[in-house]
Chains A and B, each alone.
Chain A
Amino acid sequence: MADILFFVFAGTAVGGALGVVLQKNPVGSLLFMVGTLASVAGIFVLMEAHFLAAIQVMVYAGAIMVLFLFVIMLLNLGHDYKDDLKSGVGLFLAFAVTGAIGGLLARQFRGAEESPIMAHFPGPEGMDQLLAEQGAIGAIALPLFTDYVVAFELTGILLLVALVGAIVIAKRRV
C-alpha cells in the first residue's frame, strides 16, 4: 500500500514539476508547483516525517506560494509570456548542463540501503522506536532546542533581516 502511494505521489510530483517548467502562464506554473509541493508532503508522510509534511503544506504550499501569486497578480504578469522559453544556444546549454547533473546524480543511489555505513545508524526500526517514544514533534524539538539551538536563534535573526530587507527594497521611493 505504501509503495503504491509512493509511486502515485512520485508521478504527480514529477508531472507537476514538468508543468512548472513548461507551462507558459505564470499562474498556471504556480498552481502546478502547489501540486508538486503537496505531493512531496504526501511522500514526507510516507517517510514518517509528519511535522515536516504539515509545515510543507502550511508554510510552503500555503504562505510562500501565496506570496508568489500575490506578486504575479500585483505586477499583472498573467498574460505577457510571448518569448519566455529560451531557444537555440540557450536550449542546448540547458540540455547539456541538465544532462551532466542528471548523469552525476544517477551514479549515486545504487545500493544505498545496503551500503556498509548504514550499520552505524539507527535505521528505520530505530527511527520508529524514537518516534513512538517522543512523538513526531518531540523527536524534532529535543535536538532543535539543545544541540542546534544556536542555529535556531540565528534563523530568527535571518528572518528579521529578511523582513526588514524586503520592506526596504520594495518600498516605493518618495
Chain B
Amino acid sequence: MLAEALVLSAILFVIGTFGVLIRRNAIIMFLCVELQLNAVNLSFVALSRYLGIEGQIFVFFVMTVAAAEAAVGLAIIISIFRHYETVNVDNFNLLKW
C-alpha cells in the first residue's frame, strides 16, 4: 500500500499547488496550502508504516504549525479585508498602507 499512498499524496499535493496558483481568493489559497500540508502528512504516515514511529511525530508537529499558521494567516486576511473590503489577491500590491 506504500506506493499507492505516495501516489495519492503526490496527486493531492499537485492539486493543492494548482489551487494556490489558479485562485484569486486569499482564503481559498490558504485552504489549498492546507491541502498541500495534508498531502505531505499522508506521505509521512505512509512511510512511517515502514521506517518507524518518527514519521507520525513529525506529522504531529506539522499539524501544530498548520494550526498556528491558519490563526495568523486568517488574522492577516481579516486585517487586509478591513482596509480593502476584498480578499482578492490582485488588489494587494503594497507592503504598507
Show the binding face of A for B, using Cβ within 8 Å: 2-3, 6-7, 10, 13-14, 17-18, 20-21, 26, 29-30, 33, 36-37, 40, 43-44, 46-49, 51-52, 55-56, 59-60, 63-64, 67-68, 71-72, 74-75, 77, 80-81, 83-86, 90-91, 93-95, 97-98, 101-102, 105-106, 108-113, 118, 121-124, 127, 130, 139-140, 143-144, 148, 151, 155, 158-159, 161-163, 165-167, 169-170, 172
Contact = CB atoms under 8 A, between A and B. Distances in A.
B64 A64 contact: no
A29 B60 contact: no
Nearest to B22: A94
Interface string B1-23: 11111111011111111110111
Contact of A20 (B6, B32, B67): B32
Q: Determine the main DSSP class of B at the interface with A.
A: helix
15 contacts: A14-B12, A26-B27, A47-B49, A51-B56, A67-B70, A68-B27, A68-B31, A71-B74, A84-B24, A97-B17, A109-B7, A158-B68, A162-B69, A162-B71, A170-B75
Given A52-B59, A169-B79, A170-B75, A127 B49 contact: yes
A77 B87 contact: yes
Contacts of B60: 52, 55, 140, 144
Interface string B48-83: 111111101101110111111111101111110110
B19 A21 contact: yes
- What is the size category of the interface that chain B forms with chain A? 35 or more
B6 to A, nearest CB: 4
Nearest to B77: A71
Interface of B: 1-8, 10-19, 21-25, 27-28, 30-32, 34-35, 38, 41-42, 45-46, 48-54, 56-57, 59-61, 63-72, 74-79, 81-82, 86-88
B10 A75 contact: no
Given A40-B12, A127-B48, A140-B53, 7 more contacts: A6-B5, A13-B12, A44-B45, A75-B81, A124-B50, A127-B49, A148-B57
A143 B14 contact: no
B38 A40 contact: yes
Nearest to A75: B81
7 cross-chain pairs, A with B, having the tightest CB-CB distances, nearest first: A162-B68, A94-B21, A21-B19, A170-B75, A105-B10, A166-B75, A169-B75
Contacts of A77: 25, 27, 87
